[in-house]
Structure 1
Amino acid sequence: MTTTLITGANTGIGFEMARQLTAAGHDVWIGARDLDRGRAAAEALGAHTVQLDVTDDGSVAAAVALLGDRVGRLDVLVNNAGVLGEVAPPAEMTVDQIRAVYETNVFGLVRVTRAFLPLLRRGAHPSVVNVTSGLGSFTLTGDPQRVESQYPLAAYGSSKTAVTMLTMQYARTIPDIRFNAVDPGQTATEFTGGLGHTVEQGASAAVRIATLGAAAPTGTATDADGTLPW
């Protein structure tokens, strides 16, 4: 059975990814900062939970140890945890405001990925799926016909540009593990104020990659419609 860990999966798109992957036969672990909320989500799906704060070295190390003891490997890691941060005009943004977003969206992804590499290397056809966003795409944010161009989210958008580039660099330098970036698109969750398509649609790009197994590509950035322009 494929063992899959999804960070930030007790709510929103992450929870829907967990639901769909559980239904597809994966043994899903829900990573959650709040263990009680994680347990409630896991119980609703027949999944497992692990306390995991991507901004905390100790929390990540403990999660690695738990999965190492309980399972001994990891087949799929979905780096889904992300924050929008404070919304401010770019000219008024402070370093601290930007840093707060990067701590989760960028540094958290690096922390979790690095820590879980040993368990991934014990997995079958190991795969890392990083959740990015069209808000980090130069092409889409520059196109006035696209919804991505309507939101001047400098901290969040630039953090997702970094996520995509990190994905490409991992893919180029770690050939024994597949690395891909996926964009859920504007999805109707608490995160977006209920705007966008369904969570089922939002989760679909990540679920597709996560279920490809040995057929998964590496070094791609996609959404539900195909290749994501950058």
Structure 2
Amino acid sequence: MSTEKSVAVITGSYKGLGFEIAKKLAKFDNIQVIITGRDKEKGLEAREKLALQGLEVDYLPLDVTDEKSVEDFVAEIRKQYGRVDILVNNAGVNPAREPEESSLLTAKLDTVLSTFTVNTIGPLRVSQALIPLMKERNYGRIVNVSTEMASLNLISNDFYPLAPSYRLSKIGLNGLASLLAKELKGTNILVNNYSPGWMKTDIGGANAPLTAEEGAETAVYLATLPDGGSQGGFFAEMRKFGGPFPLPW
């Protein structure tokens, strides 16, 4: 089966920020949204939750840390839809609440590596798998969920927790976006990163000032960029500045 609608894949999207991004994109008549995650039961529950709101999305299992899972996912996408137009690399972890994460000198290397596996290698693995589908139509929008905490220009003076595993993994994600954008220059596949801000999610906690719905707005903006839009950009959460605002790398 194939579809004339654009197909949007959001990793880690049966809850939190990913769910809100999926919900917003599903409101576009010309976009078919695929929510993903490792837990099939939770994925199907999320699909049903959106269906009750009049939004038809699909769910496919995907573990960004598992090569076989990604291969199976791509095969199913080809079989069911024959295309991918939008990829939002949202799946992520943040072990910052662990006591060892208060200092780079005490951070456990196993934690650093496992965080990189999800936050940096995961998006690379999924991008490598799906960009060939985008190239077939010379169209793609890749959005990576990063953080202001990964800005090398701001780290020395920012007020955020040290969180070395999380920061280093997202610095790697920023590098990934820069390299992908360079390699895809001249194509109609646009790659951009953004910081959704501090949100009320499992990672952000209940005291965060923003909702996941608010944090999703910039992702939707970047996922629906017109031809000739930003390539290799790093953006802040839009509500903070009243519109798209570039962050320093």
Fold shared, TM-score > 0.5 on shorter chain:
yes
For residues 109 and 59 of structure 1, do their structure 2 counterparts lie closer, same or farther at Cα, with a shift above 3 Å needed?
same
**Which deviates more from structure 2 when the two are superposed, residues 212-221 or residues 176-185?**
212-221
Q: Could you tell me which amino acid in structure 2 is paired with residue 160 of structure 1?
A: K
Return the offset for 1:193. 1.1
Matching residue of 2:92: 82
Matching residue of 1:102: 116
Q: Could you tell me which amino acid in structure 1 is paired with residue 107 of structure 2?
A: M
SS for the counterpart of 1:228 is coil
Matched, 1:188 2:200: yes
Matching residue of 1:52: 62
Length-normalised TM-score, structure 1: 0.93
Return the offset for 1:23. 0.9
For residues 123 and 30 of structure 1, do their structure 2 counterparts lie closer, same or farther at Cα, with a shift above 3 Å needed?
farther
Check whether the contact 2:141–2:225 (CA below 8 A) recurs between aligned residues: no
SS for the counterpart of 1:152 is coil
Q: Deviations over 1:139-188 (max 9, x none)?
A: 333335xxxx2311001011111111110110011232211111101111
Structure 1 ranges of 4+ moved more than 4 A: none
Q: Could you tell me which amino acid in structure 1 is paired with residue 151 of structure 2?
A: S
What CA distance in whole angstroms lies between the structure 2 residues aligned with 1:135 and 1:40? Answer: 32
Return the offset for 1:123. 4.1
Return the offset for 1:215. 4.5
Bigger helix share: 1
Matching residue of 1:137: 151
Q: Could you tell me which amino acid in structure 2 is paired with residue 163 of structure 1?
A: L
Check whether the contact 1:74–1:122 (CA below 8 A) recurs between aligned residues: no
Check whether the contact 2:199–2:205 (CA below 8 A) recurs between aligned residues: no
User: Which of 202, 209, 223 is the equivalent residue of 2:222?
Assistant: 209
SS for the counterpart of 2:200 is coil
Return the offset for 1:118. 1.6
Matching residue of 2:106: 92
Return the offset for 1:100. 0.7
What CA distance in whole angstroms lies between the structure 1 residues aligned with 2:155 and 2:28? Answer: 34
Matched, 1:31 2:36: yes
- Report matched runs for 1:146-185 at 5 Å: 149-175=159-185, 176=187, 177-185=189-197
Return the offset for 1:124. 6.1
Q: Could you tell me which amino acid in structure 1 is paired with residue 154 of structure 2?
A: L
SS for the counterpart of 1:138 is coil
- CA-atom RMSD in angstroms: 1.4
Gaps of 5+ in 1: none
Q: Could you tell me which amino acid in structure 1 is paired with residue 40 of structure 2?
A: L
Percent of paired sites with the same residue: 32
Check whether the contact 2:141–2:224 (CA below 8 A) recurs between aligned residues: no
Q: Could you tell me which amino acid in structure 1 is paired with residue 233 of structure 2?
A: T
What CA distance in whole angstroms lies between the structure 1 residues aligned with 2:140 and 2:40? Answer: 26
Check whether the contact 2:149–2:160 (CA below 8 A) recurs between aligned residues: no
Q: Matched residue pairs, number?
A: 226
Length-normalised TM-score, structure 2: 0.86
Matched, 1:228 2:247: yes
Return the offset for 1:216. 2.9
Check whether the contact 2:10–2:34 (CA below 8 A) recurs between aligned residues: yes
What CA distance in whole angstroms lies between the structure 1 residues aligned with 2:76 and 2:217? Answer: 28
